[in-house]
Amino acid sequence: MNITSYNFKRILPQIAVGLFVLFIIAAVVFLNKFSYKNSGSDNTVHLDKSAEVLTILSPHWEGIRVEFQNAFNKWRISKGKNPVKINWIDVGGTSDIIKYIRSSFKHSSEGIDADIFFGGGTEPYITLARENLLTSTKIPENILSNIPSDIFGQPIYDTNGYWYGAALSGFGILYNKVVMEKFKLPIPKTWNDLSMPPLRTWVGSADPRKSGSTHMMYEIILQAYGWKTGMWTIAALSGNIRSFTQSASTVPKDIAVGETAAGLCIDQYAWSTMEKVSGDRLGFALPKGLTVVTADGIAVLKGAPQAAIAADFITFILSEAGQKIWMLRKNTIPGSPERFQLNKMPVWPSLFSKYKKYTYFNDNPFLWKSSVKYSSPKSSARWGILNDYIGAVLIDPHKKCAKAWAKVCNFSDANSQKKLFLETLITENELMNFATNQYHDNRWRAKLLSKWANEARDKYDEIIK
């Protein structure tokens, strides 16, 4: 017997034991996955093949979809109604959904085989209602009477019933305290702080053309500071951004692992990330006097095939049972979410004090003070063209933008090259005029985008050379 075969025989039992252990581990992992998927069998509503289907267009993440589908069906059963299957249609972010709805209605003016649009802020709903693409829905008075019509002048629902705020959203800055301390970076507390030179390459933001919540923050900056200063802030902030992500949910993940130090973040993502990260590593600032709270909408689409069930879904969302799903920590009290913690603020003011012990957040936004005179109609009217401007001038040529900013960021504001970098290519009046007139002509829009892109590249090249 040669040495090789002898050694193999010696270690064969060890190999067998090792393979057996690996088999056991694999089996345990499989069983754990199986049991996890079925662990909610006592709580999850099971559907038969004959269940009616409710179709929802939404940018919302898995947690919201899972929790509301199950809670809605439990609520329906408690009312003596049959559970329904919810078909969640994902066509992208808020802007993508708006394009999809408009395009679909062009081909089918009476309906588009979808029942509900859910999520994406307030402005898209104002726009779609104006375009007659939504259906008025009546909510029982014993539910609607608990919800104010506005918060600091921002509408929470349409008084004609075309859309309703399902929950509230706050907009601020998430930052990593550990990274800030390690690299001696200044902690940003205002939007303008994100443009500070020490934060160059450390700032995170999603592309506002892909994310409705990110778009809202750029709009808030413009309305909080005014057009001129707001655009300067957005330009300098863009110079500090490492890269624009395709999703708003990527920004807090990058901050949590230290890829970036701070970034634009909606409250829900900020609180959810802070809840998952151990210790006091992250901070979240809502810029005092410089931010707003807005409703995150829901509406029945024109020609909805399941209009009655759709109205039922919105009624549930706005009821106390539905509002508890948004705000409560999971598995705390009856009616709390079971698998996912959503950390989103309700539209019922009374629930903040009623369930204070069971939520991640402590503040009641209805008691905040804000000096921002925010105009939803203005924001709604210029949503698309503002996205186009920021995209053409700051995002698409971002490598050149960041390189130019690196050269001028530490110069005084009186420096000619810094002035050139911060120069805005359009006035607010011009943009608003375009938004309500020529912007809907696709050929004209394409020429305008090309003009902006060329002018932006020219000025960056002038600074870099």
Query: What number of residues does the chain have?
Result: 465
Residue 226 and residue 285 share a domain: yes
Residues in contact with 218: Cβ distance below 8 Å, sequence separation at least 6, in sequence order: 208, 234, 386, 390
Residue 212 and residue 286 share a domain: yes
Note the Cα 116 to chain centre separation in Å: 18
State phi, psi for 57 to the nearest 5 degrees: -90, 125
Q: What is the pLDDT along the chain (465 residues), one digit of tens a residue?
A: 444 444 444 444 444 434 433 443 343 333 333 333 333 334 678 888 889 999 999 999 999 999 999 999 999 999 999 999 999 999 988 989 999 999 999 999 999 999 999 999 999 999 999 999 999 999 999 999 999 999 988 899 999 999 999 999 999 999 999 999 999 999 999 999 999 999 999 999 999 999 999 999 999 999 999 999 999 999 999 999 999 999 999 999 999 999 999 999 999 899 999 988 977 999 999 998 899 999 999 999 999 999 999 999 999 999 999 999 999 999 999 999 999 999 999 999 999 999 999 998 888 999 887 778 899 899 999 999 999 999 999 999 999 999 999 999 999 999 999 999 999 999 999 999 999 999 989 999 999 999 999 999 999 999 999
- The last residue of one of the domains, among 366, 401, 418, is 366
Compute the distance between CA of residue 269 and CA of residue 137 in angstroms, rounded to an integer. Answer: 30
- The last residue of one of the domains, among 324, 344, 366, is 366
Q: What is the CATH number of the domain that holds 412?
A: 3.40.190.10
Instruction: Count Cβ neighbours within 10 Å for each residue of 392-430 and write b for 16 or more, e otherwise.
Output: bbbbbbbebbbebbbbbbeeeeeeeebeebbebebebee
Domain-embedded: residue 46: no
Whether the Cβ atoms of residue 249 and residue 61 lie closer than 8 Å to each other: yes
Q: How far is CA 277 from CA 121, 205, 215, 256, in A?
A: 27, 20, 26, 7
Domain count of the fold of the chain? 2
Q: Residue 266: which domain range?
A: 170-292+374-464
Residue 191 and residue 174 share a domain: yes
Domain-embedded: residue 41: no
Whether the Cβ atoms of residue 83 and residue 76 lie closer than 8 Å to each other: yes
